[in-house]
A and B are shown apart, each in its own frame.
Chain A
Amino acid sequence: MFTKPIHIKLFFLAVLIAALLLPLFISDAYMFQVVIMSILFAIATCAMNLIIGFTGQASLAHGAFFGIGAYGVAILTKAGVSFWLALPAAAVMAVLIGLPVGLISLRTRGHYFAIVTLCFGVIMWIVAGNWIELTGGENGIFGIAPPGDILVPLIGRIDFSSQAAQYYLALAFLLLTLWALYRIVYSVFGLTFMAVRNNEALADAVGINTFTTKLISFEAANFIAALAGGLYAIVIGAVSPSAAGYGLTFNFLIYLILGGIATLSGSVIGAFAIPILMESLQFLQDYQLLIFGALLVVVIIYFPMGFVGGLRRLNQIIADRRRRKKSEAVHVSG
């Protein structure tokens, strides 16, 4: 029912192998850091895609939940809790905090959900900057230790202080996220998300509890965003209010829309291509957001499905043309 053609599967396999071999080819520590960050942003963007792209609810609190994950891990590990416990704990915390936010804002309709979630995002950002005893205020929390070693059967002891190890850790979480989202999205259950996005009244009329569906999507997105935030805390080794800000939400939104909304690969491509593009176009640094702001408007008006959507359309046009040629050829010979 939901299988992909073989050449696309092979392409994904090639990308995976390239990703696994990547550390062998990156010698520049700074660039490596950019790549790891991109992976974390890709995880968060995938999660945003679930609620915005697939479910059609403009959750603008995404940066805040990323921040809850980052601060959660920072605070807990500083208190002596193992990272391996702190990470899931922070993600569960994001879900718990998300619950009242979702219960309140999803009852409202249309514009209200976006506005309430954005307000929540701003509150979290202000709290991160002002609750000095807990968050360190504007300075944030620094000196967050990398995760402790773990023992893996067959491989042995893994030490996470190296960049390569952190890269594989981030990559593993990205793959896990994609795997989970793939299962969720391409299923009857996933169809209910799209049903809510597409026609809420009809979804309701065919027996879908639209409120619960939205809440599940929102919370799953929050959980994943917080995981990405928690990883961010240990990769950077520090968190500050900007890791919980609404500016971050806007960045994710840019990755999501430019990469391609409501496609799994679009979020990943957006979150990878854009930060790396920005690094390589240093001379544009000052005008970055000027360009991306304008691009966001242009893309949403003219290419609402983003890069991947554009590719799909191109693919379809080529296929149509080929089909037409074939039928013309038949006509001529007949």
Chain B
Amino acid sequence: MFLAKSLTKLFDGLAAVQDVSFEIKQGEILAIIGPNGAGKSTLFNMMTGTFKPTSGLVFMDGHNITGLKPYRIVTKGMARTFQTTSLFDQLRVIDNLMIGYKWRTGLGFWNTLLHTPKWKAYQTEAFLRAMEILEFLGLTDKSEFFIPALSQEEQKRLAIGIAMMGKPRMLLLDEPTGGLIQEETDRITRLIQRIRDQGTTVCIIEHKMQMIMGLADRIVVLNYGKKIAEGSPEEIKSNQAVIEAYLGGEVHA
């Protein structure tokens, strides 16, 4: 359903990502891994419209979405989270979620000012969807809380929930368990599995190898901005280039 075609990004003439192509299939969990500085985040940012690729194309369901702004890409059925937990920390949990539904509705200036029947219907719809997501995240009793009152893990779950609000067909997660302890990581992992079981395709960037090996269906490995391997966890585990990149990375650097 998603296709990246020879994506390249140059910063001041230096290639952060070079000629990377891969595909994400409907219903799978695909992981993009690689040592620090391998170009994972740059690649991710090109997929989500934050960076414009220097060359190469990005397709979603056969539509060319290269160069679209992030807010437009969301409407194509692709939602993302950020590496550092990114929330609206001045607002309540429920407000955080409802914002994520806005693009699906016609809640604009005039509808809101005039409280048209449409406004009422959409507003209720957004609220119900938020309650549904709260339930899914296990945060129902915290809906009125402000963000700083939530734990690290709850914040990470909420960040995923905001992305889920707009009913994306594909979810892109940037290190969803960064900074969490093992127990919390396991709970987030289960949440990601449940998201996939609901029929949402998932793409994850991670460097926690162990977690990825148990979770991903397929893995793409980057090193120095290039794709060095692609395949199932078993294939990746025994791939010579990957082992070298991970074990020998420090020697080269």
Q: Do A and B come into direct contact in the complex, CB within 8 Å?
A: yes
Across-interface contacts of B166 in A (CB, < 8 A): 206-207
Determine if A205 is an interface residue (Cβ-Cβ < 8 Å). yes
Are A198 and B88 within 8 A (Cβ)?
yes
Are B123 and A204 within 8 A (Cβ)?
no
Mark contacts of A150-183 with chain B using CB atoms, 8 A cut-off: 1 yes-contact digit, 0 otherwise: 0000000000000000000000000000001001
CB distance from B24 to the nearest CB of A (A): 18
Which of A188, A199, A209 touches B126 (beta carbons < 8 Å)? A188
Q: Using CB atoms, name the residue of chain A closest to B109.
A: A216
Number of interface residues of B (CB under 8 A): 42
Which of A197, A199, A207 touches B87 (beta carbons < 8 Å)? A199
**Chain B stretch 90-147: residues in CB contact (< 8 A) with chain A:** 90-91, 94-95, 98-105, 107-109, 111-113, 115, 119, 122-123, 126-127
Are A189 and B70 within 8 A (Cβ)?
no
CB distance from A320 to the nearest CB of B (A): 12
Across-interface contacts of A210 in B (CB, < 8 A): 71
Known pairs A189-B112, A190-B112, A191-B91; A206 contacts B99 (CB<8 A): yes
Determine if B80 is an interface residue (Cβ-Cβ < 8 Å). yes
Are B107 and A187 within 8 A (Cβ)?
yes
Are A206 and B103 within 8 A (Cβ)?
yes
Known pairs A194-B88, A206-B79, A210-B71; A189 contacts B115 (CB<8 A): no
Determine if B26 is an interface residue (Cβ-Cβ < 8 Å). no
Complex Cα distance A105/B141, Å?
42
Which of the listed residues A190, A192, A202 has the most CB atoms from chain B within 10 Å of its own CB? A202
Determine if B59 is an interface residue (Cβ-Cβ < 8 Å). no
Are A195 and B123 within 8 A (Cβ)?
no
Which of the listed residues A189, A201, A204, A206 has the most CB atoms from chain B within 10 Å of its own CB? A206
Are A208 and B102 within 8 A (Cβ)?
yes
Are A198 and B90 within 8 A (Cβ)?
yes
Across-interface contacts of A189 in B (CB, < 8 A): 102, 107-109, 111-112
Complex Cα distance A295/B199, Å?
56
Mark contacts of B69-91 with chain A using CB atoms, 8 A cut-off: 1 yes-contact digit, 0 otherwise: 11100110001101000111111
Across-interface contacts of B79 in A (CB, < 8 A): 205-206
CB distance from B6 to the nearest CB of A (A): 25
Are A203 and B80 within 8 A (Cβ)?
no
Mark contacts of A15-51 with chain B using CB atoms, 8 A cut-off: 1 yes-contact digit, 0 otherwise: 0000000000000000000000000000000000000
CB distance from B86 to the nearest CB of A (A): 5
Across-interface contacts of A205 in B (CB, < 8 A): 48, 70-71, 74, 79-80, 82, 86, 163
Are A192 and B99 within 8 A (Cβ)?
yes
Which of A188, A194, A209 touches B101 (beta carbons < 8 Å)? A188
Are A191 and B109 within 8 A (Cβ)?
no
Across-interface contacts of A180 in B (CB, < 8 A): 113
Across-interface contacts of A184 in B (CB, < 8 A): 109, 112-113
Determine if B165 is an interface residue (Cβ-Cβ < 8 Å). yes
Mark contacts of B45-84 with chain A using CB atoms, 8 A cut-off: 1 yes-contact digit, 0 otherwise: 0001010000000000000000001110011000110100
Are A202 and B82 within 8 A (Cβ)?
yes
Q: Using CB atoms, name the residue of chain B closest to A190.
A: B112
Across-interface contacts of B192 in A (CB, < 8 A): none
Complex Cα distance A220/B113, Å?
11
Are B163 and A206 within 8 A (Cβ)?
yes
Number of interface residues of A (CB under 8 A): 27
CB distance from B85 to the nearest CB of A (A): 10
Determine if B221 is an interface residue (Cβ-Cβ < 8 Å). no
Complex Cα distance A195/B104, Å?
16
Complex Cα distance A203/B70, Å?
9
Which of B74, B75, B88, B105 touches A195 (beta carbons < 8 Å)? B88
Q: Using CB atoms, name the residue of chain A closest to B127.
A: A1
Across-interface contacts of A192 in B (CB, < 8 A): 99, 102
Q: Using CB atoms, name the residue of chain B closest to A262.
A: B90
Complex Cα distance A183/B71, Å?
25
Known pairs A205-B82, A208-B103; A199 contacts B109 (CB<8 A): no
Known pairs A188-B123, A201-B82; A206 contacts B113 (CB<8 A): no
Are B112 and A207 within 8 A (Cβ)?
no
Known pairs A188-B107, A194-B91; A204 contacts B69 (CB<8 A): yes
Known pairs A187-B123, A220-B109; A206 contacts B91 (CB<8 A): no
Mark contacts of A270-311 with chain B using CB atoms, 8 A cut-off: 1 yes-contact digit, 0 otherwise: 000000000000000000000000000000000000000000
Across-interface contacts of B108 in A (CB, < 8 A): 189
Determine if B162 is an interface residue (Cβ-Cβ < 8 Å). yes
Complex Cα distance A187/B165, Å?
17
Known: A191-B98, A201-B50. 14 other contacts (CB 8 A): A1-B127, A189-B109, A189-B111, A191-B99, A198-B89, A203-B88, A203-B99, A205-B48, A205-B70, A205-B163, A206-B99, A207-B104, A208-B71, A208-B99
Chain A interfacial positions (CB closer than 8 Å to B):
1, 180, 183-184, 187-192, 194-195, 197-199, 201-210, 216, 220
Closest 5 CB pairs of A and B: A207-B103, A207-B74, A189-B112, A198-B88, A206-B100
Chain B interfacial positions (CB closer than 8 Å to A):
48, 50, 69-71, 74-75, 79-80, 82, 86-91, 94-95, 98-105, 107-109, 111-113, 115, 119, 122-123, 126-127, 162-163, 165-166
A-B contact pairs, 6 of them (CB 8 A): A183-B113, A188-B99, A191-B91, A206-B162, A207-B104, A220-B109
